[in-house]
Amino acid sequence: MTTTTVRAACPHDCPDTCALLVTVTDGVATEVRGDPDHPTTAGVLCTKVSRYTERTYHKDRLLHPLKRVGKKGEGKFVQISWDEAIATIAGRLGEIAARNPQAILPYSYAGTMGLVQGESMSMRFFNRIGASLLDRTICAAAGGAGYKYTIGARIGTDLEQFQNARLILIWGGNPIASNLHFWMRAQEAKRRGAKLIAIDPYRSLSADKCHQHIALLPGTDSALALGMMHVLIAEDLLDHDYIAQYTLGFEQLKHQVSIWTPEKTAEVCGISAEEVLELARSYGGAALRGEAAAIRVNYGLQRVHGGGMAVRNITCLPALVGAWRHAAGGVQLSSSDSFPKNNHALQRPDFLTKQGLAPRTINMSTIGDDLLRETSPEFGPKIEALIVYNSNPVAVAPESSVVARGFAREDLFTVVLEHFQTDTADYADIVLPATTQLEHVDAHSAYGHLYMLANNAAIAPLGEAKPNTEIFRLLAARMGFDDACFRESDDEIAAQAFDSKNVRAVHFDWDSLKQKGWQKLNVPDAPFASGGFPTPSGKCEFYSAQMRQDGLDPLPTYIAPYESLASNPELARKYPLAMISPPARNFLNSSFVNVKSLRDTEGEPHLDMHPADAGKRALVSGDTVRIYNDRGSFNAKLRVTDKARIGLVVGLSIWWKKMASDGKNANEVTNQRLTDMGRAPTFYDVLVEVEKAPHGDSSAA
């Protein structure tokens, strides 16, 4: 019996990007552990990935190429050979590309965050064809835009510093479920005497364990940040020296926030004026005493109309109080721009320029509507072929009934690369079995810490599964693309993942990274202690000329949700409850829903509702309820709980539709409207009504 330990990295869409140790006995992976020596992983994995072998060896793994024989969505397939699959796909794509390559659309996101199995060979292939480009906006684009307008890049407080903070605002996230290793640092800070304040419409597992929870209305976070700025300025809780040296537009900001009194802020946010005052005083007071005040802002709050502005407003706060002076102060949304990724080498956009092509861009967040569009001068050619990889849009894209209608088009040729027969795979013409993280090589950056990681293949591919790279390599060869980059191995691609000349990469060398598993970037502990923001002015921009140029308000402001009393009173009377659908602890977007032990822990689709709202509707815990608006409806089992504030319902997500008794999930009621900046979806900008499900519809799962 031979047992080895293989160094790997978690591929999932989570800021923590854990370093893994995989135990392999006689070619079989028997255990996946967190690397105890990796400083941010510290030997701890979430429950999801600690069950990774259960997922890898799942009885439902797709192990052979399949061809659809039933109706779209029905899920009836027969096994075919790789040769037939590749020949069929290459034939159809070649035929469509000869007419207009833009009628072909790749659709992918963060099913793997790997730089090799994510967007490398795939993008080379689509750029070589001249296919439509995909705007990958579905998760983080709004917040990223607001952050960048303000401080210039997605750079922030180092995760490894948070335990030294004296005050941490956990704003718009539930780290126990989706940022566990930050939570471990926050808990250490708490043990050392720090105060933790959660700002979240829902009393999540994490909010429940903080010293204070501010349960504002969804979509009003930007107003709360404006109210805080008002108090900080009115009470002179400011770092005047930092403002003078390292910020731009303070006088305009001062004027702009003068109307945001605690009373006005409280009214908009649905909280008390005392909460606004106390929050600002805690934050400004800590900074004034020379204590590190940190903000971990997460993506929940930016899934509304004014989501980009909300992150922008919050990102202004540390510069006002000089919190950036401390390594443990400042704010972190994402660390992803810290990494010198070499996207040019990975994805080869020069294939487009060399051919004189400038394809249109389709926004992945409006895929429902876009699949149903006909050819027109404004839109360009109707989408004729869709290649889906690392994504499950039929479950995760907004306004699901429209998305499903698009995928059901008989004239649409759909290929899905997958591990499992997902809701999306049910609509495919051809399904291709993809390898999991244990079966292939990859290189990783992170968006919550500062380590590059290597993923070594621990086991051989199961069945006939192939890495994404190999699938696109085969397609490229069949379509006659003989450029050298289509013959590169995964190791050769990984060796180009980071720019080795960039100082931050500290002598990036793929072979040594593979051996060591991880390596920290060469970045300063307190990135903006002395300014140096990568904005056009080099300062933290309270006033942004770039925003004005882009048609946006150049100063922090408040943008009400599309679906709210303020924006649409008539709709709010018809559908008086705001709904959010944040991640369930045991799922990661739609990944892991089919892992039985994790699904059993979640139970079935639930809806949390405040007792006052339940009382008004004569609903009790355990009722099967129907959640509905003009876009659609879905069923869930009701939990009456004050974790949901009055006026809010919460459906933890994202369930596979086929695993619910009514074949639906929370995205039936979400919409395809986009955010103020970043062209992102507004999943949490939704009004609904809730009623007892009609008789005969008694089970939610």
Q: Within 10 Å of residue 620's Cβ, how many Cβ atoms?
A: 12
**CA 2/CA 602 separation, integer angstroms:** 37
CB of 92 to ligand SF4, least distance (A): 36
Which range binds ligand SF4 by CB under 6 A, 43-51, 231-239, 354-362, 635-643?
Answer: 43-51
CB of 116 to ligand SF4, least distance (A): 17
Report strand pairing: 648-650 vs 577-580. Answer: parallel
Which of residues 46 and 115 has its CB atom nearest to ligand SF4 in the complex?
46
H/E run at residue 516? helix 510-516
Which of residues 46 and 584 has its CB atom nearest to ligand SF4 in the complex?
46
Which range binds ligand SF4 by CB under 6 A, 41-49, 269-277, 297-305, 462-470?
Answer: 41-49
SS3 of 73, please?
A: coil
**CA 627/CA 69 separation, integer angstroms:** 34
Which of residues 10 and 131 has its CB atom nearest to ligand SF4 in the complex?
10
Which range binds ligand SF4 by CB under 6 A, 40-48, 194-202, 356-364, 399-407?
Answer: 40-48
CB of 234 to ligand SF4, least distance (A): 41
Chain residues 47-76 in contact with ligand SF4, contact rule CB under 6 A: 48-49
Q: What are phi and psi of 143, to 5 degrees?
A: -60, -40
C-beta of residue 240 within 8 angstroms of C-beta of residue 319? no
Which range binds ligand SF4 by CB under 6 A, 42-50, 93-101, 392-400, 568-576?
Answer: 42-50
**CA 443/CA 449 separation, integer angstroms:** 15
Please give the size of the binding site for ligand SF4, defined by CB under 6 A: 12
The single residue among 7, 17, 427, 693 that binds ligand SF4, judged by CB under 6 A, is: 17
CB of 10 to ligand SF4, least distance (A): 3
Chain residues 309-368 in contact with ligand SF4, contact rule CB under 6 A: none
CB of 38 to ligand SF4, least distance (A): 10
Count of alpha carbons within 13 Å of 275, Cβ hemisphere only?
19
Which of residues 154 and 679 has its CB atom nearest to ligand SF4 in the complex?
154
**CA 19/CA 358 separation, integer angstroms:** 39
Which range binds ligand SF4 by CB under 6 A, 13-21, 139-147, 519-527, 679-687?
Answer: 13-21
CA angle 329, 183, 395 (to 5 degrees): 115
The yes or no reply on residue 682 touching ligand SF4 (CB under 6 A) is no
**CA 63/CA 446 separation, integer angstroms:** 29
Q: Within 10 Å of residue 377's Cβ, how many Cβ atoms?
A: 5
CB of 183 to ligand SF4, least distance (A): 10
Which of residues 182 and 510 has its CB atom nearest to ligand SF4 in the complex?
182
SS3 of 32, please?
A: strand
**CA 603/CA 597 separation, integer angstroms:** 10
- Name the burial class of residue 511, with classes exposed (0-12), middle (13-18) and buried (19+) by CB atoms within 10 angstroms of its CB: exposed
CB of 48 to ligand SF4, least distance (A): 6
The yes or no reply on residue 18 touching ligand SF4 (CB under 6 A) is yes
Chain residues 583-612 in contact with ligand SF4, contact rule CB under 6 A: 588
Which of residues 50 and 343 has its CB atom nearest to ligand SF4 in the complex?
50
The single residue among 6, 21, 29, 46 that binds ligand SF4, judged by CB under 6 A, is: 46
* CA neighbor of 469 nearest in space, from 409, 539, 389: 389
The single residue among 6, 7, 8, 16 that binds ligand SF4, judged by CB under 6 A, is: 16
CB of 53 to ligand SF4, least distance (A): 13
The single residue among 6, 8, 14, 217 that binds ligand SF4, judged by CB under 6 A, is: 14
Which of residues 181 and 341 has its CB atom nearest to ligand SF4 in the complex?
181
Which of residues 48 and 312 has its CB atom nearest to ligand SF4 in the complex?
48
CB of 633 to ligand SF4, least distance (A): 31
Count of alpha carbons within 13 Å of 417, Cβ hemisphere only?
29
Q: Residue 430: beta bridge partners?
A: 67, 415
Distances (CA, A) of 497 to 132, 512, 520: 24, 14, 15
Which range binds ligand SF4 by CB under 6 A, 6-14, 188-196, 319-327, 337-345?
Answer: 6-14
The yes or no reply on residue 679 touching ligand SF4 (CB under 6 A) is no
CB of 204 to ligand SF4, least distance (A): 16
SS3 of 131, please?
A: coil
* CA neighbor of 560 nearest in space, from 543, 572, 546: 572
* CA neighbor of 299 nearest in space, from 124, 438, 142, 495: 142
SS3 of 348, please?
A: coil
The yes or no reply on residue 439 touching ligand SF4 (CB under 6 A) is no
Which of residues 443 and 686 has its CB atom nearest to ligand SF4 in the complex?
443
The single residue among 6, 22, 45, 292 that binds ligand SF4, judged by CB under 6 A, is: 45
The yes or no reply on residue 139 touching ligand SF4 (CB under 6 A) is no
Site map 536..575 versus ligand SF4, x via CB under 6 A: ----------------------------------------
Which of residues 18 and 248 has its CB atom nearest to ligand SF4 in the complex?
18
CB of 175 to ligand SF4, least distance (A): 10
CB of 52 to ligand SF4, least distance (A): 8
**CA 229/CA 451 separation, integer angstroms:** 34
List, as one string, the DSSP characters of 339-381: S-B-HHHHH-THHHHHTT----EEEGGGHHHHHTPPPBTTTBS
Which range binds ligand SF4 by CB under 6 A, 8-16, 431-439, 453-461, 509-517?
Answer: 8-16
Distances (CA, A) of 551 to 536, 545, 555: 17, 10, 12
CB of 143 to ligand SF4, least distance (A): 19
The yes or no reply on residue 180 touching ligand SF4 (CB under 6 A) is yes
Q: What are phi and psi of 178, to 5 degrees?
A: -140, 15
CB of 46 to ligand SF4, least distance (A): 3
The single residue among 7, 12, 203, 312 that binds ligand SF4, judged by CB under 6 A, is: 12
The yes or no reply on residue 238 touching ligand SF4 (CB under 6 A) is no
**CA 56/CA 437 separation, integer angstroms:** 9
Which of residues 11 and 249 has its CB atom nearest to ligand SF4 in the complex?
11
Which of residues 33 and 326 has its CB atom nearest to ligand SF4 in the complex?
33
**CA 655/CA 604 separation, integer angstroms:** 9
- Longest CA–CA separation in the chain, Å: 73
Torsion angle in degrees (nearest 10) through CA of 255, 256, 262, 267: 150
CB of 43 to ligand SF4, least distance (A): 11
* CA neighbor of 225 nearest in space, from 273, 272, 257: 257
The yes or no reply on residue 174 touching ligand SF4 (CB under 6 A) is no
Which of residues 20 and 321 has its CB atom nearest to ligand SF4 in the complex?
20
CB of 12 to ligand SF4, least distance (A): 4
- Structure-token pair, residue 662: 């009514």
**CA 656/CA 666 separation, integer angstroms:** 10
- Structure-token pair, residue 401: 């009934």
Strands (E), 591-698: 606-609, 624-629, 632-640, 648-650, 687-692
Which of residues 587 and 656 has its CB atom nearest to ligand SF4 in the complex?
587
**CA 493/CA 488 separation, integer angstroms:** 6
> What is the amino acid identity at position 643?
K
Please give the residue ranges that form the binding site for ligand SF4 (CB under 6 A): 10, 12, 14, 16-18, 45-46, 48-49, 180, 588
